[in-house]
């Protein structure tokens, strides 16, 4: 088996989307996120829950783009692909999925904040 065949076989099961080398995806704790949100003005706080969940309570300053429409709406509402974006949902499952999706769409500064259930600070109701 040639080296090229081996590479094709080994990489064939992965995603077909190219994630830029400059892309950053990492988890961020509520405490670190809170401090950065207090001290940095340009951070986008993205809630990927449903509109009904958002209305029940959300982190102040967040914008809503539900996970179900993220692929279509993110390019329209978040044109700067190098912006720092903190993503959260209810428990952390959808925020992880959204973070991976956004990296595949070319966003480079993505942070998974996890779930609002772990947010110990004020929420807007």
Helix, strand and coil in the chain, % to nearest 5:
40, 20, 40
3-state helix/strand/coil string of 61-102: CCEECCHHHHHHHHHHHCCCCCCEEEEEECCCHHHHHHHHHH
Is 13 an annotated catalytic residue?
Answer: no
Catalytic choice (85, 89, 98, 116): 89
> Distance of alpha carbon 76 from its chain centroid, rounded?
16
Active site residues per annotation: 89
């Amino acid at each position: 088996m040639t080296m090229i065949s081996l590479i094709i076989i080994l990489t064939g099961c992965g995603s077909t989307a190219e994630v830029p080398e400059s892309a950053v995806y990492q988890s961020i704790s509520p405490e670190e996120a809170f401090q950065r949100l207090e001290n940095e003005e340009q951070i986008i706080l993205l809630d990927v829950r449903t509109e009904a969940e958002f209305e029940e309570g959300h982190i102040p300053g967040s914008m809503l783009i539900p996970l179900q429409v993220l692929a279509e709406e993110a390019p329209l509402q978040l044109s700067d692909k190098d912006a720092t974006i903190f993503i959260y949902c209810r428990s952390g499952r959808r925020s992880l999925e959204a973070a991976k999706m956004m990296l595949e769409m070319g966003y480079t500064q993505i942070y998974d904040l996890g779930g609002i259930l772990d947010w110990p600070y004020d929420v807007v109701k």
